[in-house]
Structure 1
Amino acid sequence: MKYDKNIYEGLFITRLNRFNALVKLNNEEITVHVPNTGRCKEILKEGTKIFLREELNPTRKTKYDLIAAMKGKMLINIDSQIPNKVVNEALINGKIDNLKKYSQINKEKTFGKSRFDFKLSTEDEKEIYYLEVKGVTLEENGHCRFPDAPTERGTKHILELIEAKNQGYGAGVLFLIQLEDVKVFSPNDITDKKFAEALKLAKENSVDILAYNCKVYKDGIEIKDPISVIL
């Protein structure tokens, strides 16, 4: 997918809080919105080249969103609103092998006490599949992990997927890695042991654990290849 808004290059200075950062754009220090409440400490460092998307909403307090940053030679997208859009595009275009048979795509559907990102079904609606999407930005030496901060909500989603599977539905979680040069994905059991345990339990209950990397551009992002998962 390509952004339909202007993209500008700047330099990161500091994170002011979970939602805002101070950056330098055209030699001027400005406050921008960070559309990612994760820590991103290994990415957002002082002096890092970053990319800003212009937001033309007159009611906003900030004019730009900080959507991507360079980590060495890698461009990493950090916009937490992007993964669902990328996966939706991939589902429409049949780019996720395990899910090609599901032609009906519905977003934000409730199951139990959770709202999953997608409810998929075959054309005759005889087969239903619940899919949750998690964006991944934490990377070290080609090894990506999730989450980069504890997530009770994420653990709850995994347990609900197990329940969906036990009730006869298809169920899966797709970790969308928002960068390209990666080799493997694992849950971050150091940061969130409960999430890692829930993910292993999901695998034992035949919930699909999928991971895909992305081709990232300064003005867009698209799903690329499946990545090995080690639990």
Structure 2
Amino acid sequence: MKFDKNIFEGIFISRPNRFNAKVSLNGEEIVVHVPNTGRCREILMEGTKIFLREELNPTRKTKYDLIAAMKGDVLINIDSQIPNKVVNEALENKKIETLHKYSKINREKTFGKSRFDFKLSTENEEEIYYLEVKGVTLEDKGHCKFPDAPTERGAKHILELIEAKKQGYGAGILFLIQLDNVKSFSPNDITDPEFSNALRLAKDSGVDIMAYNCIVEKNSIELNKVVDIIL
């Protein structure tokens, strides 16, 4: 998907809280919004080149969103609103092979006590599939993990996917790795063992576990290739 807003390069200075960051843009220190509540500590370090999306909304407190950063020579998109948009585009373009048969795509649909990112169905609606998407930014030497901070909602969503599967629906979780050139993915046992255990239970219960990397550029991002999953 192409970004339809202006993108500017800057330098990261600090992150006083999880919502805002101080950056240098054209030599001026400004405060910008960080659309990611994860830690991103290995990405957002002082002196790092970052990319800002201009938000022309007069009601906002900040004019820019910090959407991506360089980690060495790798560009990582950190915008937590992006994964669902990328996956939606991939579903429409039939780029996710295991989900080709679902022609109807609905966003943000409720099942049980959870709201899943997608409810997919065949044309005649005889088959229904619930899909949850998780954006991944934590990477080390080509191996990615999720989450980078504890997430109670994450484990809850997985348990609801297991329940959907038990009731006869299709169910899956897709980890969208917001960078390219990665080798493998696994749940982050140290950071969130509850999520990791729930994910393994989901696999044993027949829930589909998928991971894809992305082609990331400063003005675009798109789903790319399947990544090996290590559970």
Alignment match, 1:155: 155
SS in 2 for 1:171: strand
Indicate the residue corresponding to 1:130 in structure 2. 130
- Structure 1: distance between partners of 2:144 and 2:210: 13
* Alignment map for 1:7-22 (pairs within 5 Å): 7-22=7-22
2:160 corresponds to which letter in structure 1?
Answer: E
Give the distance between the partners of 2:189 and 2:208, measured in 1 at CA: 19
Does the residue aligned with 2:45 lie in a helix, a strand or coil? coil
Report what 1:219 is aligned to.
Answer: 219
Does 1:228 find its partner at 2:203? no
1:194 partner letter = E
Q: Which residue of 1 aligns with 2:190?
A: 190
**What is the CA-CA distance between 1:108 and the residue it aligns to?**
0.3
Give, in whole Å, the separation in 2 of the partners of 1:85 and 1:16.
28
1:168-207 mapped onto 2 (5 Å cutoff): 168-207=168-207
Question: 1:66 corresponds to which residue?
Answer: 66
In the alignment, what sits opposite 1:83? 83
For 1:228 and 1:111, the matched residues in 2 are separated by 29
C-alpha displacement of 1:200: 0.2
Structure-2 separation of matches of 1:146 and 1:216: 19
- TM-score, normalising length from structure 1? 1.00
**Is residue 173 of structure 2 the alignment partner of residue 167 of structure 1?**
no
- C-alpha distance in structure 2 between counterparts of 1:181 and 1:11, whole Å: 24
Distance, in Å, in 2 between the alignment partners of 1:195 and 1:8 is 36
**Matching of residues 5-154 of structure 1 within 5 Å:** 5-154=5-154
Structure 1 residue 166 displacement after superposition:
0.4
RMSD (Å), alpha carbons = 0.3
Residue 78 of structure 1 and its aligned partner are, at CA, apart by: 0.1
State how far apart, in whole Å, the 1-side matches of 2:171 and 2:223 are. Answer: 20
SS in 2 for 1:107: strand
Q: What is the distance in 2 between the residues matched to 1:204 and 1:178? A: 26
Aligned length: 231
Secondary structure of the residue aligned to 2:98 is: helix
Deviation string 1:188-220 (CA, Å, 9 cap, x unpaired) is 000000000000000000100000000000011
One-letter amino acid of the structure 1 residue matched with residue 8 of structure 2: Y
2:194 and 2:4 map into 1 onto residues whose CA distance is 39
Query: Alpha-carbon deviation of 1:16?
Result: 1.3
Task: Find runs of 4+ consecutive structure 1 residues off by over 4 angstroms.
Answer: none
Q: How far has the Cα of 1:181 moved from its partner?
A: 1.3
Give the distance between the partners of 1:187 and 1:63, measured in 2 at CA. Answer: 35
Write the distance in 2 (CA, Å) between the matches of 1:227 and 1:103: 24
| Paired letter, 1:103 | S
Q: Which 5+ residue runs of structure 2 have no aligned equivalent?
A: none
